């Protein structure tokens, strides 16, 4: 029986580390969830300051927010002079400090104040003084009827027109006891939306949040219960690609044959043994992935009927009948949609640019990496590689000898360029 592939998830690349986030809290019952959001952000390494409206302070304690954020909570533009001294820039310095502003929950009242440009508390002042390039995420939460009212919708439209991201409330049970639209998304969902907005604001990779599947390593084809056909592949190139893609914010699944390598951070890993298992695991992602990278050194043939148990050495000669394995990458190439990209490798022991070009066409790939194999500087089980990238657009990029991590980076640069070209000429 083939071993069941198993999955292993670890946390992804962290765009929040060191980011300065202001959370504006208005007077809605969902405000009680915000200390949890502050904690999640702090755990990811963000610096968090809170601006609380008067109504917000009725729903969540200032002390709780100050404790979890480890910062004073900002409320009024004019603080009591005796307690805080006079700071003439207080109402503008926070807006300048922040990398992003999240307003959650946002009430109908604050949506109206912000869209009108009022400046009657610290949250409004921060909103007005934030740098235009910084993301503003607004999470309205209120009774469904109120949310759908013409006035609220008009204010939301005005805020969206000036560049804010307004995230519609979810449907579900409301504080009023009724069911309908109006619920604030959970803190985890707010965090994800913020991460996405920060990546976008940073001019992030076209691979951000793209679903990428990478096959890696060798496969093993059973001859009998204790022997198999395989190759020298270490999986290093495929793992380097998976690591580099995750760093660029992609959602990466690594389908790997037997290797001795740790799972790159943020990568979902599926361990398989034979080509049939790798094919079955990969096929599960054919429809849903945005990019498929075949870096595995797949066995082209397998013994037709593996011997049950251990074969005896009684005969002077034995004949092993091999049958062809499915070509996983070609399978993906055959069925891919115009928005999906397929990338493969062509490992050759002698000059093989023409053969790589033929594989690019035969397997309907968008990019192929011709991989020279000499077992010292390039190919299987070494830390460096010499690749020549050939795009389906005819662009050829000859890379020097690079570490596999650097080669993976160059390969993904070329993939990103294909994504960008495609966005211009779909």
Enumerate binding residues for ligand C5P (CB under 6 A).
Answer: 215, 275, 294-296, 298, 300, 325, 327-329, 344-346, 359
Least distance to ligand C5P, CB of residue 363, Å? 7
Contact in structure between 112 and 99 (CB atoms under 8 Å): no
Whether the bond between 291 and the residue before it is cis, its omega within 30 degrees of 0, is no
Query: What is the rounded distance in angstroms from the CA atom of residue 200 to the CA atom of residue 198?
Result: 5
Least distance to ligand C5P, CB of residue 403, Å? 20
Residue 179 token pair: 């069911």
Beta bridge partners of residue 25, listed in sequence order? 52
Query: What is the rounded distance in angstroms from the CA atom of residue 177 to the CA atom of residue 123?
Result: 29
Q: Which of 216, 204, 200, 195 is nearest to 408 (CA)?
A: 216
Query: What is the rounded distance in angstroms from the CA atom of residue 176 to the CA atom of residue 146?
Result: 12
Residue 364 annotated in active site: no
Q: Which residue, 325 or 340, has its beta carbon nearer to ligand C5P?
A: 325
Q: Which residue, 59 or 345, has its beta carbon nearer to ligand C5P?
A: 345
Least distance to ligand C5P, CB of residue 299, Å? 7
Residue 175 token pair: 């504080």
Strand ranges across the sheet with 341-348: 7-8, 267-271, 251-256, 211-216, 291-294, 341-348, 367-372, 387-391, 396-398
Q: Which residue, 310 or 375, has its beta carbon nearer to ligand C5P?
A: 375
Least distance to ligand C5P, CB of residue 250, Å? 18
CA torsion sign for 53, 54, 55, 61 is positive
Least distance to ligand C5P, CB of residue 344, Å? 3
Helices (H), 347-403: 353-362
Q: Which residue, 193 or 295, has its beta carbon nearer to ligand C5P?
A: 295
Determine the length of the chain: 426
Residue 251 backbone phi and psi in degrees, to 5:
-95, 105
Out of 14, 109, 231, 364, which one is annotated catalytic?
Answer: 231
Q: Which residue, 127 or 228, has its beta carbon nearer to ligand C5P?
A: 228
Residues marked active site are found at 231
């Amino acid at each position: 029986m083939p071993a069941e592939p198993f999955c292993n998830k670890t946390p992804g690349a962290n765009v929040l580390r060191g980011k300065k986030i202001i959370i504006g809290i208005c007077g809605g019952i969902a405000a009680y969830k915000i200390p949890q959001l502050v904690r999640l952000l702090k755990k990811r390494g963000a610096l968090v300051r809170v601006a609380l409206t008067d109504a917000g302070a009725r729903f969540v304690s200032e002390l709780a927010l100050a404790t979890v954020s480890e910062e004073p909570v900002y409320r009024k533009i004019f603080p009591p002079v005796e307690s805080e001294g006079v700071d003439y820039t207080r109402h503008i310095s926070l807006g300048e400090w922040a990398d992003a502003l999240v307003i959650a929950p946002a009430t109908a009242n604050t949506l109206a104040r912000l869209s009108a440009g009022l400046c009657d508390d610290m949250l409004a002042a921060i909103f007005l003084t934030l740098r235009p390039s910084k993301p503003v995420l607004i999470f309205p939460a209120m009774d469904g009827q109120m949310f759908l009212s013409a006035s609220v919708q008009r204010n939301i439209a005005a805020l969206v027109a000036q560049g804010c991201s307004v995230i519609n409330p979810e449907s579900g049970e409301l504080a009023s006891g009724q069911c309908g639209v109006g619920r604030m998304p959970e803190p985890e969902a707010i965090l994800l939306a913020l991460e996405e907005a920060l990546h976008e604001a940073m001019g992030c990779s076209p691979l951000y949040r793209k679903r990428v599947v990478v096959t890696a390593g060798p496969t093993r084809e059973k001859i009998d219960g204790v022997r198999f056909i395989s190759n020298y592949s270490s999986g290093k190139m495929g793992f380097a690609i998976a690591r580099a893609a995750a760093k660029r914010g992609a959602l990466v699944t690594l389908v790997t044959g037997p290797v001795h390598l740790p799972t790159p951070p943020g990568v979902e890993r599926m361990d398989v043994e034979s080509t049939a298992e790798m094919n079955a695991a990969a096929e599960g992602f054919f429809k849903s992935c945005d990019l498929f990278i075949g870096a595995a050194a797949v066995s082209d043939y397998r013994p037709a009927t593996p011997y049950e148990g251990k074969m005896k050495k009684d005969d002077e000669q034995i004949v092993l009948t091999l049958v062809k394995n499915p070509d996983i990458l070609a399978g993906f190439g055959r069925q891919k949609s115009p928005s999906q990209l397929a990338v493969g490798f062509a490992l050759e022991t002698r000059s093989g640019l023409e053969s790589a070009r033929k594989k690019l066409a035969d397997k309907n790939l968008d990019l192929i990496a011709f991989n020279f194999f000499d077992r010292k500087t390039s190919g299987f089980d070494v830390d460096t590689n010499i690749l020549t990238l050939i795009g389906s657009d005819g662009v050829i990029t000859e890379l020097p000898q690079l570490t596999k991590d650097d080669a993976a980076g160059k390969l993904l640069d070329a993939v990103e360029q294909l994504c960008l070209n495609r966005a211009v000429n779909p």
